[in-house]
Structures are given as structure tokens and as C-alpha cells.
Amino acid sequence: MAQNFQSNLEPKQVEALAFRSALTFARDNGLRKIIVEGDSLKVIQSILKADEDHSSLGLIYEDIREDRGHFSIATFNHIYREGNEVAHCLAKHACNTNATSIWLEEVPEIKDQVQHDISFMLC
């Protein structure tokens, strides 16, 4: 999935909105087990905290926490940017389109980025 958000948003705002969109998509399509990965440790930590967040992203984090309850398993992992080439490639794709792109069986040509991410995980 690749979705274009407003260009004047900060990276952590885009990541939080992307998480919320991904969870909504997964829920609406009947997925029960999900793994969400992101390179913003602050966003991941904020989602996993049970405390109320009064920041500008607080309501988005609250939506994400609420959506987690719709899944039998919903795991949120921080991954370093160097190991997240697939997400970077999809984000670049989203910047070049106004439409939301969703791939269910066929994916864009990202084989090299997938191999890179796998190699990074094995190091």
C-alpha cells in the first residue's frame, strides 16, 4: 500500500498516519494478525504507551491503539531506516502519485529492496 499525504507534514506525522491507514485497511479486509514496522522509534514508543498523549499526534495514536483491539495479534516493531528500503521505495512511489496504490498479489518492482532488507536483518 502506498498513499500520498500532505507534503507539509513532518516525517513522524506521515508515519503515524500511514500506520492508521494500514490498520484500517487490514481491519476492513478481515486480516487478523498483523506486523507493523516503522523507522520512527518515537512513533512506535508512543503507540505502545498506554498514557494519554496531548501532542498533536495524540488522537492518531489513540486511534491506532483502539484499532489494535480488532486484531488477534498486532505487533509494532521499530526497524532502523537502513533496514527499511522497501518502505522507502513505497514512500517514493506515493510521492509521485495522487492516488492510493494497493497491491494484493502483484507488487511493484521492489525485489532488490526486499533482498537488501533481508540482508540487513541477517547481519
The CATH number of the domain where 37 resides is what?
3.30.420.10
What would the grid cell of residue 92 be?
517514493
- Contact in structure between 20 and 63 (CB atoms under 8 Å): yes
* 97 within some domain: yes
Residue 7 pLDDT exceeds 80? no
For residues 28 and 68, give the distance between their C-alpha atoms in angstroms, rounded to a whole number: 13
Q: Domain range holding 33?
A: 11-122
Please give the pLDDT value at position 6: 61
Please give the pLDDT value at position 91: 63
* 23 within some domain: yes
Number of domains in the chain: 1
Closest by CA position to 89, among listed 64, 107, 75, 105: 107
Q: What share of the chain is helix, strand, coil (3-state, %, to 5)?
A: 50, 10, 35
62-107 pLDDT per residue, tens: 999 999 999 999 999 898 877 677 666 666 655 666 666 666 666 6
Query: 46 vs 113, which has greater pLDDT?
Result: 46
User: pTM here?
Assistant: 0.70
